[in-house]
Amino acid sequence: MIGNLKPLEIILIIVVILLLFGAKKLPDMARSLGKSARILKSEAKAMKKDDESSRAQSAPGTDPDAQKDVPRTIRAAPGDVTSSRPVSEPNRTTQS
């Protein structure tokens, strides 16, 4: 569908978008969209890493207590160290 658009139609769509949202808000919207995409990408990568580590722990012949207890950190955005905080997770020994 997009391949069938003529250059005049594309320019008309861009003009309509500029009129609807305004030239001042478009850079802010693009910046927030990029930030959201980076956060989504880093969270997906962290979930994949957690999944791989949980598979390694549940593998036969491995001792889950033998691995180091490293506190995990949640970040609001990649590289943003001011808003990161440690995460407290329940241990298997503390659960009843």
- CB half-sphere exposure, 79, CA atoms < 13 A: 2
Residue 33 domain-assigned (yes or no): yes
Which pLDDT does position 93 carry in this prediction?
Answer: 64
Which pLDDT does position 63 carry in this prediction?
Answer: 53
CA distance 77 to 12: 35
Which pLDDT does position 54 carry in this prediction?
Answer: 81
Helix ranges (H only) for 1-96 are: 7-21, 25-58
Residue 72 domain-assigned (yes or no): no
Residue 85 domain-assigned (yes or no): no
Residue 92 domain-assigned (yes or no): no
The number of folded domains in the chain is 1
Per DSSP, 4 falls in state G
Residue 46 domain-assigned (yes or no): yes
Mean pLDDT estimate for the chain: 75
Range of the domain at 28: 23-50
Residue 17 domain-assigned (yes or no): no
The mean per-residue pLDDT over the stretch 38-59 comes to 86
